[in-house]
């Protein structure tokens, strides 16, 4: 990961909440939002892991800061998880994401969410989650399943099978309720255009 890629991820994460990636917005979120601090330190550790000079200079410090943020926010994202830009933890506490999980751009994750893997038997593996997905409070998404783009997972749902693009699922186990998608819940997703317009 280059520094430019790291910077893009950090700014796209910041943009998701308020539609701005200014320093003022970043510092406000960093100061008041434990989830935002955790996300920044998570990105920082990924950057440190991917650069030899960074591994030598500040990798241990980055991981120490991440662990402190984890204890404060109650969020654990395994270092092997693959997560795209625009990650937003709307609330924090009780969040766990498997190292086998793959999450696309602009994912919104609420409190008490588990995105977990199954180690053996049917469904062995972990979820692949598309772009612009909303995962509601208390939801569990588990096993080698695919969550389509623009899907919405309702609160306290258990998802153990595929969800189509724009699918809205609720229940235990989750059942398809509609195909209205997540657009009313997932905002500020077009960071690249925002960045380009800011530079022009």
Rg (CA), the chain: 17
pLDDT given at position 99: 96
| Residue 173, preceding peptide bond in cis (omega within 30° of 0) | yes
Token pair, residue 27, equals 């510092």
Statement: residue 198 has pLDDT above 70: no
Residue recorded with tokens 């539609």: 19
pLDDT given at position 51: 81
Alpha-carbon distance 152 to 194, whole Å? 24
Alpha-carbon distance 164 to 46, whole Å? 30
Kindly list the structural domains of the chain, giving each domain's residue range(s) and its CATH number in brackets, ordered by start: 3-199 (2.160.10.10)
Beta partners for residue 142, in sequence order: 116
The residue-averaged pLDDT of 173-184 equals: 96
Write the pLDDT tens digit of every residue in 109-150.
999 999 999 888 777 899 999 999 999 999 999 999 999 999
Write the pLDDT tens digit of every residue in 60-77.
999 999 999 999 999 999
In the chain the beta strands, taken as DSSP E runs, fall at 75-77, 82-83, 88-89, 95-97, 102-103, 108-109, 114-116, 128-129, 134-135, 140-142, 146-147, 152-153, 158-159, 168-170, 175-178
Model pTM score: 0.93
Alpha-carbon distance 55 to 49, whole Å? 6
3-state DSSP assignment of residue 7: helix
Which helix (H) or strand (E) element contains residue 59? Answer: helix 59-73
pLDDT given at position 163: 98
């Amino acid at each position: 990961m280059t520094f430019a890629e790291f910077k893009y991820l950090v700014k796209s994460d910041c943009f998701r909440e308020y539609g701005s990636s200014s320093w003022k917005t970043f510092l406000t979120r960093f100061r008041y939002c434990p989830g935002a601090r955790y996300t920044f330190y998570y990105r920082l550790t990924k950057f440190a892991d991917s650069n030899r000079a960074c591994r030598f200079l500040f990798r241990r410090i980055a991981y120490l800061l991440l662990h402190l943020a984890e204890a404060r926010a109650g969020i654990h994202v395994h270092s092997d998880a693959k997560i795209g830009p625009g990650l937003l933890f709307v609330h924090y506490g009780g969040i766990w994401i498997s190292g086998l999980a793959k999450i696309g751009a602009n994912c919104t994750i609420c409190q008490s969410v588990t995105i977990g893997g199954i180690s053996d038997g049917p469904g062995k593996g972990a979820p692949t989650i598309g772009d612009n997905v909303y995962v509601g409070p208390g939801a569990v998404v588990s096993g080698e399943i695919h969550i389509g783009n623009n899907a919405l997972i309702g609160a306290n749902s258990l998802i153990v099978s595929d969800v189509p693009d724009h699918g809205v699922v609720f229940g235990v186990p989750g059942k398809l309720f509609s195909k209205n998608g997540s657009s009313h819940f997932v905002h500020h997703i077009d960071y690249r255009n925002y960045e380009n317009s800011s530079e022009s």
